[in-house]
Amino acid sequence: MTITPDLTTRAAAPGRAADARWHDVCALADLMPERGVAALVDGVQVAIFLTHEGGLHALANLDPFSGAQVISRGILGTRGGAPTVASPMFKQVFDLRTGACLDDPRVALPVFAVRRAPGDRVEVAVSDEHRR
């Protein structure tokens, strides 16, 4: 199967992109489709996912329901056409695009901008807002 990564970038936080700094995380070839990886990016744990469709997604690795840094170990899927990750702890499902918890609308994971950079590198942007 050939993967053509999604080159779109999602906002790290609406209105906060100006203070975001891009960080090289890994080679695109290091990512396996439908398997997450955790990376420490500028002091923040980030879960990075590559979907079978080639979409790159980056969310906070902290599961807000258990307090464990485990989102990168979650199970990818879809719900209502949205790409999702289910926490491996208590199985809450989060939208990979928005971070919204589909099981509890009061909860959301922070979403990080992620992109495919020259040389097939994966970069993640972390803003000051993410470090608070």
Provide the pLDDT for residue 19: 79
The closest alpha carbon to 49, from 122, 129, 103, belongs to 122
Domain, as residue range, for 95: 17-131
The residue with tokens 């990080």 is 112
**Is residue 16 predicted with pLDDT exceeding 80?**
no
Provide the pLDDT for residue 129: 82
Task: Provide φ and ψ at 14, rounded to 5°.
Answer: -50, 130
Inside any domain, residue 6: no
Q: How far apart are alpha carbons 68 and 131 in whole angstroms?
A: 17
Class of residue 81 by CB neighbours under 10 A (exposed 0-12, middle 13-18, buried 19+): exposed
Provide the pLDDT for residue 31: 98
- In this prediction, residue 46 has a pLDDT band, given cuts at 50, 70 and 90, of very high
Percent above pLDDT 70 for the chain:
85
**Is residue 99 predicted with pLDDT exceeding 90?**
yes
**Is residue 132 predicted with pLDDT exceeding 90?**
no
Q: How many domains does the chain have?
A: 1
**pTM of the model as a whole:** 0.85
Q: How far apart are alpha carbons 31 and 48 in whole angstroms?
A: 9
CATH code, domain carrying 95: 2.102.10.10
Q: What is the mean pLDDT of residues 77-90?
A: 97
Quick: pLDDT tens for 1-15: 333 333 333 333 433
Q: What is the mean pLDDT of residues 94-104?
A: 98
Average pLDDT, the chain: 88
The residue length of the chain stands at 132
